[in-house]
Structure 1
Amino acid sequence: MFGRKKDEAAAQPAAAEELTETPTQGKGAPTPKRSAQVASRKRPLVHTDRKAARNAARAERLAAQERLRIANETGDDRYMMARDKGPQKRFARNFVDARFMAGEFLMFAIFAFLIFSLVMPSSAEIQVGITFALWGVLGITVLDAFIMTRQLKKRLAAKFGQVERGVLWYAAMRGLQFRKLRVPKPLVKRGQDVG
């Protein structure tokens, strides 16, 4: 019983020597006080140099606008607005841009009907004819958009499995814009197969 303690006591200094021989890894510096950590993270709510802060904010805003402009021209999803991001919306844009849409010229047609209604004599028959022609153009535009969205829905379901919410409305609204004024800019030519 007494011999056992002597063996353990002799074994402990050997173990202590082994521990001191292995290098200890630490952070190499004392832990900073909490007040020092809090002070290092503090930033003023209002910058002391307002002119420099305004210039920095303006430069950051201009850089973001430039990134967005380039993304709208090249189709880069990383910097596009949230409403234009995603593979389904890219496919919808290309699908609409490859077609000829009646809605592209809707605003021009409405402007022409407005001019005709002001220039033509104010007889009731002519005004009724102009009104019915305008309703006919609107009907053709709605029918064209409906047919396009049905075709797009089938293509999206075949390619992606399911259709994300809002993509068909996004495509219909793009179809109502004049091709040269569309943002993001069209990347496909009319009649091109979008796959």
Structure 2
Amino acid sequence: MPVHPVPLGFVFRSRAKDEKATAAAQAQVTGSPETRDPQAPKGRPTPKRSEAQSQRRSVANTPMTRKDAAKRGREERRAALEKQRKALAGGDERYLPVRDKGPVRRFARDFIDARFNVAEYFLPMAVVILVLSMVRVTQLQTIALLLWLVVIVLIVLDSFATGFRLKKRLAEKFPDDNRRGAVAYALMRSLQMRRLRLPKPQVKRGERP
């Protein structure tokens, strides 16, 4: 039986087809859904959602050491103090101390900040009177004593009038709110110089709240 020679081109074409089929199969395996996560370690497939959630839970439930807990507590307190400091400077109600929160306390602050108060000049006048009382001159010491009396009387009268008007305004504006301690809070604020008051004044002189 005669043997027919196989064409050389047919052999090469068959080998090329086999190589293409092998490359296509490898491409299908590589393009499978189990692709690698860019953030996953090199050479590992992307973890399933359930596995990722369980890993996060295990990390969250890992007990902290006493040192870590103390460090986190310090950071939280530092952040809270920073927010409070900014609130005292800007008047943000969310982070103000408890004694300064609420519309009643805000109105009391604005009522004091909008007017001139005799009590806010107490410290400068006290320094002047103290200097006069230290001078070894009888007349100056007598003047210093009289000034003390005048300053005290003016502060008492002004505080009484301010407290009376503020109490009336609060009753008119906030009839259903808790107004306890608001007048005393305002009078204590009136003893401070305007530039040193915290929270910072939000109204101008003469501006009616």
Does the alignment reach a TM-score above 0.5?
Answer: yes
Task: Name the counterpart of 1:88.
Answer: 104
Structure number with higher relative contact order (C-alpha < 8 Å, ≥ 6 residues apart) = 1
Report the equivalent of 1:48: 65
Match of 1:4 in 2: none
Counterpart among 54, 59, 63 of residue 75 in structure 2? 59
Give the number of aligned pairs: 148
C-alpha distance in 1 between matches for 2:196 and 2:203: 15
Task: Spell out, residue by residue over 1:103-155, the C-alpha distance to the aligned partner (whole angstroms, 9 max, x if none).
Answer: 1110111111111111x2242x4323211211111111111111111111111
Q: Distance in 1 between matches of 2:175 and 2:70?
A: 48
CA contact (8 A) 2:132 2:141 kept: no
Unpaired segments ≥5 residues, structure 2: 1-60
Q: State the percentage of identical aligned residues.
A: 43
Output the TM-score relative to the length of structure 1.
Answer: 0.70
d(CA) in 2 for partners of 1:145 and 1:77? 27
Structure with the greater alpha carbon radius of gyration: 2
Question: Alpha carbons of 1:151 and 1:43: their partners in 2 closer, same or farther (altered >3 Å)?
Answer: farther
Q: What TM-score, normalized by structure 2, do the two folds share?
A: 0.65
Structure 1 residue ranges (4+ consecutive) displaced by more than 3 angstroms after TM superposition: none
Give the distance between the partners of 1:49 and 1:58, measured in 2 at CA. Answer: 12
Q: 1:184 aligns with which of 199, 204, 207?
A: 199
Q: Are 2:147 and 1:133 equivalent residues in the alignment?
A: yes
Q: Is 1:73 matched with 2:73?
A: no
1:147 aligns with 2:147: no
1:65 positional shift: 0.5
> How far off its partner does 1:49 sit?
4.6
Distance 2:62 2:184 in 1: 45
Give unpaired runs (5+ residues) of structure 1: 1-41
